[in-house]
Amino acid sequence: MVDEAQKQTGIKLMRILFFTLVISVMSATMFNIVLPEIRSDFQLSFAQVSWVSSAYMLVYAIGSVTYGKLADTFKLKNLLTYGLFFFALGSMVGLTAQAYWMVLLGRILQAMGASVIPATAMIIPVRYFPPESRGRALGISATGLALGSALGPVISALVVSAFHWRWLFCLPLFTLILLPFYRKYLNDEQGKENKIDWMGGGLLAGTIALLLLAVTEGVWIIGIGSIILFVLFIVRIHAAKQPFVQAHLFRNKRYSLGLTIAFLVSGIGFSIPFLSPLLLSNVNHLDSEVIGFVMFPAAISSAILGRTGGRLADLKGNSFLFYTASSLLLTSFALLFIFVGVYPLFFSVFLIFGNIGQTFMQIALSNSISRTLSKEQTGVGMGIFAMMNFIAGSISAGVYSKVVDMGTGFHLNPFNVHPIAFVYSNIYFVLAVLHVSILLLYYFQFGRVVLKGKYAER
């Protein structure tokens, strides 16, 4: 049983973790605002500059699972020390970058370090809090994530209004101030020696990296390499004694289908934070510092209403929340499709529907998918769910940027009078159609029906 002293230590650690989460999330999202400036400075295409986000999220996805596995063998305080060191090292590389490859290297090093933070956020509540008070600790983590997402656009706008965009790399350096407190309060607990399937993780990372390279560079022979690595990855997770991804989980058809829906929804939802800065820069000709403030109301709205989504899920069911989220997302996509290129104030309002919808969607899917797993499978299964969300964001960033680069000679919206906005309008229309298809798939797999005022599983 967890004693009172350990619980008090846990509370102190959660306060430190709160600030770490805020900084890490801000670092992940801030660069979306300045992608147009990076593109201009290095004379890049949209597809090429998308690697600033794609590379970070890919490494972050693989790293978060890897650190979670390493925490079973090594002391968490030591993993955090290495992680925050790489986080800071990447910041120094990016800050001094004079070439695009150095910017990418900085972001990759940052992701290698920052991916220790979500693993820490899962471990501390379990180790330091009894089950009956663990919800409070998880609530602190969720608040930190939401606050970081909300502050990211504003801090980015403030920094680039006064300094060069490279100074955004400085923010993670503040996490080093927190490191002595982690080392003071974290105990020396470590698990038994556990082998890591480095080959499996490498094959998965290589599969996604080659796929992104094939999309962004248009060299489809590279796509064949991605397929080959994916086949090898499948063979590996079936052959390894302790595979990077547990293959037996996918025999659960409801879990596999839920994971597929979540992957698609995450990819569609990533269009909101990724495409918006490109559109506002390319179509509305706004500077980066203004773009951040245009996007802030949507981010803070989703942060404020995040708990409301959780309460709705508890009171009326996950399916009710999913349908509510779908309605908000479809409203946002429809408005963006019809009125793309309008005055930024209206665009800011349209984003509010999308951001809140995506937040509610993640809550609904997380709850729905967790219920397809047994108690013993929940930790591993939800870890894969989180990893797939990051991978979806990485892939979708490459796809969206490539489509924008290609442009279009036709427009699906006859009321659109901005030729440069045609491609964005078409993208939002396609995303809306895709989401309707996903909505139908979710209905038949996880849907609920109303029975005497209450929601029951179909």
Residue range 32-70, pLDDT digits in tens: 888 888 988 999 888 888 889 888 888 888 888 888 778
Query: pLDDT at position 326, please?
Result: 92
Q: Which residues contact 434 (CB under 8 A, 6 or more apart)?
A: 264, 268
**DSSP tag of 343:** -
Q: Say if 1-194 and 249-458 have the same CATH topology.
A: yes
Query: pLDDT at position 134, please?
Result: 62
How far is it, in rounded angstroms, from Cα 334 to Cα 201? 39
Whose tokens are 């400075």? That residue is 41
Summarised one tens digit per residue, pLDDT across range 410-426 is: 777 777 667 788 889 89
| Domain ranges for the chain | 1-194, 197-243, 249-458
How far is it, in rounded angstroms, from Cα 434 to Cα 392? 15
Alpha-carbon distance values, 343 to 230, 270, 278, 346, 350 (Å): 45, 22, 15, 6, 11
Alpha-carbon distance values, 308 to 320, 389, 404 (Å): 13, 22, 35
Query: pLDDT at position 456, please?
Result: 41
How far is it, in rounded angstroms, from Cα 337 to Cα 428? 5
Query: pLDDT at position 450, please?
Result: 36
Residue spans of the chain under pLDDT 70: 1-4, 131-139, 142, 188-194, 375-379, 416-417, 446-458
Query: pLDDT at position 452, please?
Result: 36
CB atoms within 10 A of CB 19: 17
Interhelix angle for 378-406 vs 271-282, to 10°? Answer: 20
Query: pLDDT at position 1, please?
Result: 46
Query: pLDDT at position 135, please?
Result: 60
If one looks up domain 1-194 in CATH, what number appears? 1.20.1250.20
Query: pLDDT at position 458, please?
Result: 39
Query: Per CATH, which fold does 249-458 belong to?
Result: Growth Hormone; Chain: A; (1.20.1250)
Helices (H), 96-197: 100-114, 116-128, 134-162, 175-185
Predicted TM-score (pTM) of this structure: 0.81
Q: Which residues contact 450 (CB under 8 A, 6 or more apart)?
A: none
How far is it, in rounded angstroms, from Cα 355 to Cα 295? 10
